[in-house]
């Protein structure tokens, strides 16, 4: 029991929500990782004060609702672009998204709050349960791993651990480092008892020092990549009167300056259907002066439409083409879209009805003179499992995105942070072209070597780094973590079957 045991449930839930907000300060753009660690340190006190599994679940839900509510404030931005049609949905979107994601943490808290367990065992089961919850969040209902605990380490050397254990492994390692000492402090422990429970935190620190000591040197390919950032506001982007303005701007940025080896335009940067874009493709090829150009474009195939990337050759031909496969629910497609559209509910980026169709799955783009790229259209860069599913060993990651949907505060920077994480996990450079920013060249260690700021039109020439050797995570994915969690879960089930001492704490 803790000093919070005398508080009423609603008081503990309010405190939990406030701590969740503080915990979210570790995410971009503030990136105060100490805030996240401090908030997590207080979690065991809240957890141990719960008198039942229901109270524990509600406490976990409150903490996570505060965390996701603050982390996902940007989610209201798409609803404000066309306020007349979508504005009324904005508060509901934030409330339901934050509250829905928080259900994963509620389940974890409820599972860990077995009444017969000692506080020590409950803490370890909470770590395991939260690890499973965060893993599941990346898969259930197509997945949404945004604002994962691993993201708070992007601005620190701890991010290098992603190459070894991936984001879910780093999240579990974070919980292992913080919750045991938090549990000890909640129970008034000190001295050797507290020191013993700080061993995982010490191991975490040593692991960071170790990966920093062996970090490889990153070399350059010597190839120049041009990132084009047209800065087309979302409310103008699909206005036919503005089509020629933004196309001319991108053509000018492509044609200026020294000749690049590759040009990358952002998502949906070509304002015409691919089948009817022949003259525009020829203009692009001329402006590129012999360099291939990757452009974002929509294309139709029968009654299906796709959000695609195409490589425009020096001859003005779009080949190869990649179709986005991991679509944004209620953004690029709407489940039962024809029915919901009758109630005024439609996807933002989708043209009508059911919206975009998914492509066949993770794939590569072979870019002449550059190598094999993993194409990631916007939202696809937040899924590490999709990048791992690409066949073979590519040379680079290439993200084309339209972050105008995400507003101008936290959304674009959190999206950028996740792109940096994918680079570290794979040991590959990330080429990132964003409509309104942040366009960036990211090296295989997750460092930004060059960038264009948010809401600035222009282009950026940056040297493409060489890839590193395949990382452990790129070869194993989450399999070792899943096996470890399964073994621990089976062990916990076995312990549950044993009779407990009469005095459990």
What sign for the dihedral angle of Cα 44, 48, 53, 56? negative
DSSP 446-460: S-EEEEE-TT--EEE
- Answer for the pair 389, 375: CB distance below 8 angstroms, yes or no: no
444/173 Cα distance (integer angstroms):
22
- How would you write the pLDDT of the chain (505 residues) with one tens digit per residue? 567 888 999 999 999 999 999 999 999 999 999 999 999 999 999 999 999 999 999 999 999 999 999 999 999 998 888 788 888 888 999 999 999 999 999 999 999 997 656 888 899 999 999 999 999 999 999 999 999 999 999 999 999 999 999 999 999 999 999 999 999 999 999 999 999 999 999 999 999 999 999 999 999 999 999 999 999 999 899 899 999 999 999 999 999 999 999 999 999 999 999 999 999 999 999 999 999 999 999 999 999 999 999 999 999 999 999 999 999 987 788 765 555 555 555 555 555 456 899 999 999 999 999 999 999 999 999 999 999 999 999 999 999 999 998 999 999 999 999 999 999 999 999 999 999 999 999 999 999 999 999 999 999 999 999 999 999 999 999 999 999 999 988 887 777 666 655 554 4
Choice among 55, 77, 134, 267 that is catalytic: 267
Choice among 283, 378, 380, 463 that is catalytic: 378
The reported pTM is 0.94
- Please give the pLDDT value at position 504: 45
User: Among this protein's residues, is 267 annotated catalytic?
Assistant: yes
333/341 Cα distance (integer angstroms):
11
List residues bridging with 295 in a β-sheet.
310
Residue with token string 């503080």: 22
Choice among 77, 237, 283, 324 that is catalytic: 324
Tokens found for residue 472: 């452990």
User: Closest Cα to residue 310, out of 321, 323, 301?
Assistant: 321
DSSP state of 297: E
User: Among this protein's residues, is 378 annotated catalytic?
Assistant: yes
- Please give the pLDDT value at position 42: 98
Domains of the chain (ranges plus CATH)? 3-215+477-497 (no CATH), 220-326+362-468 (3.60.110.10), 330-360 (no CATH)
């Amino acid at each position: 029991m803790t000093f919070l045991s005398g508080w009423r449930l609603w008081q503990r839930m309010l405190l939990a929500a406030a701590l969740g907000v503080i915990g979210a300060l570790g995410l971009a753009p503030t990136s105060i990782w100490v805030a996240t660690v401090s908030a997590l340190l207080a979690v065991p006190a809240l957890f141990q004060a719960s008198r039942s599994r229901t109270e524990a679940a509600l406490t976990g839900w409150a903490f996570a609702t505060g965390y996701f509510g603050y982390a996902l404030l940007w989610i209201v931005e798409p609803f404000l672009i066309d306020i007349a049609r979508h504005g009324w949905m904005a508060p509901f979107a934030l409330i339901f998204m934050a509250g829905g994601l928080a259900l994963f943490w509620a389940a974890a808290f409820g599972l860990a709050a077995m009444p017969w367990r000692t506080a020590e065992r409950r803490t370890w089961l909470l770590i395991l349960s939260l690890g499973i919850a965060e893993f599941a969040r990346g898969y259930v209902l197509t997945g949404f791993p945004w604002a994962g605990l691993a993201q708070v380490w992007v601005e620190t050397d701890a991010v290098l651990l992603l190459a070894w254990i991936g984001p879910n492994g780093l999240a579990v390692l974070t919980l292992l480092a913080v919750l045991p000492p938090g549990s000890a402090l909640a129970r008034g422990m000190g001295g050797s008892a507290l020191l013993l429970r700080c061993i995982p935190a010490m191991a975490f620190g040593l692991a960071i020092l170790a990966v920093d000591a062996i970090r490889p040197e990153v070399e350059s390919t010597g190839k120049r990549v041009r990132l084009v950032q047209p800065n087309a506001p979302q409310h103008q982007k699909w206005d036919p009167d503005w089509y020629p303005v933004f196309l001319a701007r991108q053509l000018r940025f492509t044609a200026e300056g020294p000749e690049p080896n590759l040009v990358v335009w952002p998502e949906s940067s070509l304002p015409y259907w691919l089948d009817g874009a022949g003259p525009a493709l020829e203009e692009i090829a001329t402006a590129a002066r012999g360099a291939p150009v990757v452009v974002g474009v929509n294309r139709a195939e029968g009654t299906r439409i796709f959000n695609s990337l195409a490589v425009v050759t020096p001859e003005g031909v779009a080949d190869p083409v990649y179709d986005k496969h991991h679509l944004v629910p209620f953004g690029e497609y709407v489940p039962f879209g024809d029915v919901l559209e009758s109630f005024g509910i439609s996807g933002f980026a989708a043209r009508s009805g059911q919206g975009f169709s998914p492509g066949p799955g993770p794939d590569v783009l072979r870019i002449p003179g550059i190598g094999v790229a993993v194409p990631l259209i916007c939202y696809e860069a937040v899924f590490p499992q999709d990048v791992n599913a690409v066949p073979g060993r590519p040379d680079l990651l290439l993200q084309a995105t339209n972050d105008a949907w995400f507003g101008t505060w936290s959304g674009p920077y959190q999206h950028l942070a996740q792109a940096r994480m994918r680079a570290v996990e794979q040991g590959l450079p990330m080429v990132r072209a964003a409509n309104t920013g942040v366009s960036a060249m990211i090296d295989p260690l997750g460092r930004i070597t060059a960038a264009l700021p948010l809401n600035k039109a222009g282009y950026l020439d940056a040297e493409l780094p060489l890839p590193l050797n395949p990382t452990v995570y790129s070869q194993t994915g989450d399999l070792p973590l899943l096996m470890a969690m399964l073994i621990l879960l089976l062990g916990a089930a076995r312990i549950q079957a044993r009779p407990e001492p009469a005095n459990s704490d």
